[in-house]
Structures are given as structure tokens and as C-alpha cells.
Amino acid sequence: MKKFDNQKFVEDLSRQPWENVYFFAEDPNDMWKIWKKLFLNVLDKHAPIQQKKIRTKKVPWITSVIKNLMNTRDRLKRKAIITNLEIDWLNYKTARNKVNIQLKNAKKDYYSTKIAGQKHNPKEAWKTINNILGRQSKPTVVNELKVGENILTNTQDIAEGFNDYFSNIGPDLASKIDSTNFNYETYVENAKSEFAAFQPVTVQNVYQLLHCLSSNKATGVDKISCKIIKIAAPVISDSLTYIFNQAITLSIFPDEWKTARVIPLYKNGQRNMPGNYRPISVLPTISKIMERILYDQLYDYFTKFGHLSDCQFGFRKFHSTTTALLDCTNEWYMNLDRKKFNLVILIDLKKAFDTVDHQILLKKLELYGVKGQALSFVQSYISNRKQKCQIQNSLSSEKLIKCGVPQGSILGPLFFLLYINDLPQCLYKTKPRLFADDTNLTASGDSITDLEAAVNSDLENLRKWLIANKLSLNVAKTEFMLIGSKQMIRSISDLQLNVKIENESVKQVHESITLGVTIDQHLSWKSNTENICKKITSGSLIL
């Protein structure tokens, strides 16, 4: 991109015979192949792909004046080393101290100005603060991977190992579940409304979506970056609109748009265990524009007719971790004021996004009113998805994805919400709150015995719902907490609670981290405050 000329690039693009795309109107796959060829021919001319060494980023606050002072300092140091005269060492130390003061002041001014300019953009402000604290995100580096009894050290083998593991997570967990005696349809209320077809999109709408792309997003397998797409938006909007509308009309989601470049993101635990990584799918930019078009129409339908559960706070407008935490803590406080206990179960699901069964998802969408052409298009989007896993410069072979929704897509989170949308319908004695797959169940009352019976009853109901939906519970990480005032907890200190699911005892805890906040059994927030203070003091913020 060093010699890239935006204007010449756009001019050359405008000369391409985009009308050739329209000749293949019967197959969006062929249309996309022609479009991509026309686009890449121009892109390769103006910005050919090259391999370059990544150099250390320049320090932005070092000015030419400071560079001259640093050169003078270094020259005086060399002279002092040669002569070893006291006057020369004194001159060097004076120059060194002057450079240090200038650097400190320049760094302070740089970050003060930068943060002041980001006061209306919290996301960018936090990036700057994390950069100061040395917490900038680093690419995941995997030197070895344990697969069974084998230890893989070659990057190509590691990429293949990750790809095998990620593509088999869902099928492996589903194979252990016998759902023949349970029917997921019994929990879903048949909608009276209907969403029968996606509406065509306008050129203006497509242009706006292209123009509003974030330039720093990762590039998919098609090697077309968001930055280039934004530059080309005025020229390519017409042809892309035609492809999108033909895809909608024919209910065909192009195959290449369903191929993801998967990057393993480290979570916690041993770094050589594949289960300690989360697969993030990087999809082609154009496919995400198509997804956004579909998402907006589907989300408007589900919110208009109130199909999304009020208990769900994740991936929804005007909902967040904050609203989820406020909702549950407010109820817990009110119960404490009434001298009632709160028995809270913190549910942990195994690989929830990766184990979504495609046939169950499609049937649930149909029950919620998505039918006809719209359902066929969603089926095309979900089916025959493939992925390649990348470790450094090594890219694995393709693997077919048999279940799950891609993490990193636009539609994936919405489909997951709809998949677990009916979970509250299986509960009768506890109140659930969900943020995507993070779920807690609350029972409140005066009698500990009654609370124990209530949560055990609903945990059994939850077990049946999970089996019916081919989802798995991580009992070892599922916990429960009895919330009450210090006096209330002290009054039942000798009582042992017996909470069980799947014939296994659930671990009792006195504090737990949920949605990034540490909650303790007295709702005192002492541990949460201490954790925040530790994080703040863990880095050295020099301004």
C-alpha cells in the first residue's frame, strides 16, 4: 500500500466490465467468482501482495529535536568512554538527563492530547490506556499442541490439529447425548406472525454499509481487506447490490462466503491444550455485508413481534452486561430487604456456540415464523460451511462444519440467541437471566429447605431441556451461591445445602465472577473493588 493511489485505483475499477457479473445471474457462486476476478485484477496491479518484515513501530512522541539531542548524548558518551575524563562524563550525564526530561514531557503531552481527543470514544480511549499500561493485545503464538498422546511442534501440524479439534467439538459432544426421549419442540411456542421472505436491498443501503466498514478488521480467505472495500465503495456498490439481491431471490448463499479463516484465541489454562482456545472465525468482508442485510431484517422481525425472551440480555439493542447485572442484583437486594435468601445457580455450558444443532435451529426458526424463501436462504447460509485454521503463516486444509454457529460472524450470535431462547420455558420455580450462554438461576424465599427443593427441581428440568437441544452442561464449573446478609448467613451456618444436577453435586462458593464482576454472598462488593484496584496498580501509568 506504500505507493497506493486511491484515485487511480478507483478509476481503473470503474473501467472494469462489471456487466459481466450479470451474465451469470442464475448462480450467485459464478457471479461472485467473476466479480472477485475483476476486482482482484485491479487490486493486484495497484497493491500486489508482498512479504515484508514487520519492523518495530516508531515511537510517535520522539520529534526531530529529541532525536538530535539523543545523537548528541550518544556522541558525548562515546567520547567519555574513550577519554575517561571527568568533564566528559559530566557533559554526557547532563545531555542524558536533558534527553530523559524531554522524553518524559513529550510522552506526557502526546498521551494527554490523545486521550483528550478520545473523550467521546471510550473504546479508543481504553485502547490508548491499555497501550500505556503495556496491555495491548498480542497475536496468539502456539509453539506446541497436545493432541491425544502426540505433541505437535510444526506450525502446519499445529494448524491441522486445531482445525480437527474445532471442527469435531460439536459432533463429539452431541454423540454422547441420547435425546430420543426428549422433544425440543415442546418448549417453543408456535408463533402467529410470519417472516416469509427477505426484502431486496438498495444500492444506497449497500453503499452505506460498505462506507461504514471499520478499516482495521481482519481479512478473510478472499484476501480483500475492509480498507480496500471502503475505498472502492462508490464503484462496486451497484454490482454487489445485484449479487446480494440475486442471492436473496435464489436463496443461495455463495460457498466462498461460508469459508472461514479460524484463529485460535487463548483463554486460560495450559497453552498446549486445544480446549483452552476459542475459535474466532474471520469471514470475507463481503459476506459480512450480506449477513448484516439479513441480520437487520431478521432482528427487526423478532423484536417487532416480541419473540426474544425478556430474560436474554446478550447481543441485543439497549441490553448489556450492565443491564443484566443491574436486573439480578436489584432483585437480590430487594429480597435481602425482605429478609429473604437468594439461592443462585451459576450455569456453565460446554462449548455452547460450537454445539448448536443445525436441524434444531432451522426448526426453531420455522416455529418462530421464519418460513418459505427466508428459511431456505438461512438453510443455505448454515449448511456446508467450511473452515481453515491459521497458525502464524501456516494455513490448514479445509474442514466441513457439521454443527455450531461461527464466532466472529454477524448472524451467529442472533442464531444462538434464538437457539436458547426457549430455555426459560423449562423453568417453573427459578428466575433465569441469560447473557448469551452465561446463565444464572435465582430462587428466593425464607426457607432454605424450600429453596433447595426448588433449584433441584428446576435443575432437573434444565437437564431435560439441554438433552433435548443437544447441549452439554459443565457440572464441574457450575456453581451455586447462597446470598444473604451476614446475620442471615450466620443463622444457618450449620446447614449443609445439597444441590445436584445429573446426579452430581454442584459446588457451593462464597464469591464468583460473573460477567466480569466479582459477586460475593453478602453483596458487599469488597472483593470486586479489591480486584479492580489490583488491575489498576498492575501497570505503571506515567503521564
Does 529 lie in the same domain as 387?
A: no
Does 167 lie in the same domain as 239?
A: yes
Does 496 lie in the same domain as 468?
A: yes
pLDDT band with cut points at 50, 70 and 90 for residue 27: very high
**Residue 216 is placed in which grid cell?**
482495521
**Residue 98 is placed in which grid cell?**
536533558
Higher-confidence residue: 58 or 510? 510
Does 270 lie in the same domain as 167?
A: yes
Q: Given this model, what pLDDT does residue 269 score?
A: 86
Does 231 lie in the same domain as 295?
A: yes
Q: Given this model, what pLDDT does residue 400 score?
A: 94
CB-CB contact of 170 with 387 (8 Å) = no
* Number of domains comprising the chain: 3
Does 393 lie in the same domain as 486?
A: no
278 within domain boundaries: yes
315 within domain boundaries: no
371 within domain boundaries: yes
pLDDT digits (tens, 9 = 90+) for 173-229: 888 888 778 899 999 999 999 999 999 999 999 999 999 998 888 888 888 999 999
Residue 170 has pLDDT above 90, yes or no: no
Residues in the chain, how many?
A: 543
Quote the CA–CA distance of 122 and 142 in Å, as a whole number. 32
Quote the CA–CA distance of 385 and 221 in Å, as a whole number. 13
pLDDT digits (tens, 9 = 90+) for 116-150: 888 888 888 888 887 777 766 666 678 889 988 88
pLDDT digits (tens, 9 = 90+) for 406-434: 888 999 999 999 999 999 999 999 999 99
SS3 403: coil
148 within domain boundaries: no
SS3 258: helix
Quote the CA–CA distance of 99 and 93 in Å, as a whole number. 10
Q: Given this model, what pLDDT does residue 69 score?
A: 94
Buried b (16+ CB within 10 A) or exposed e, 501-513: beeeebeeeebbe
Greatest distance between any 2 Cα atoms in the chain: 93
CB-CB contact of 157 with 384 (8 Å) = no
What are 400's strand-pairing partners? 386
Q: Given this model, what pLDDT does residue 77 score?
A: 95
Residues in Cβ contact with 131 at an 8 Å cutoff, skipping those fewer than 6 apart: none
Q: Given this model, what pLDDT does residue 241 score?
A: 97
Quote the CA–CA distance of 243 and 293 in Å, as a whole number. 13
Q: What percent of the chain has pLDDT over 90?
A: 73
pLDDT digits (tens, 9 = 90+) for 432-466: 999 998 999 999 999 999 999 999 999 999 999 99
DSSP-derived secondary structure letter, 428: S
Residue 1 has pLDDT above 70, yes or no: yes
Q: Given this model, what pLDDT does residue 527 score?
A: 92
Does 199 lie in the same domain as 171?
A: yes
Does 454 lie in the same domain as 380?
A: no
CB-CB contact of 39 with 236 (8 Å) = yes
What is the extent of the structural domain holding 453? 324-350+418-541
What are 152's strand-pairing partners? 145
Does 378 lie in the same domain as 273?
A: yes
Does 111 lie in the same domain as 84?
A: yes
pLDDT digits (tens, 9 = 90+) for 245-298: 999 999 999 999 999 999 998 888 888 999 889 888 899 999 999 999 999 999
509 within domain boundaries: yes
Quote the CA–CA distance of 296 and 7 in Å, as a whole number. 32
Does 422 lie in the same domain as 397?
A: no
49 within domain boundaries: no
382 within domain boundaries: yes
Report the chain's mean pLDDT, rounded to a whole number.
91
**Residue 279 is placed in which grid cell?**
475459535
Give the residue carrying C-alpha cell 471510550.
122
- Work out the number of other CB atoms within 10 angstroms of the CB of residue 488: 18
Backbone angles phi, psi at 65, to 5 degrees: -65, -45
39 within domain boundaries: no
Does 434 lie in the same domain as 504?
A: yes
Of residues 319, 418, 334, 423, the one with CA closest to residue 369:
418
Q: Given this model, what pLDDT does residue 540 score?
A: 46
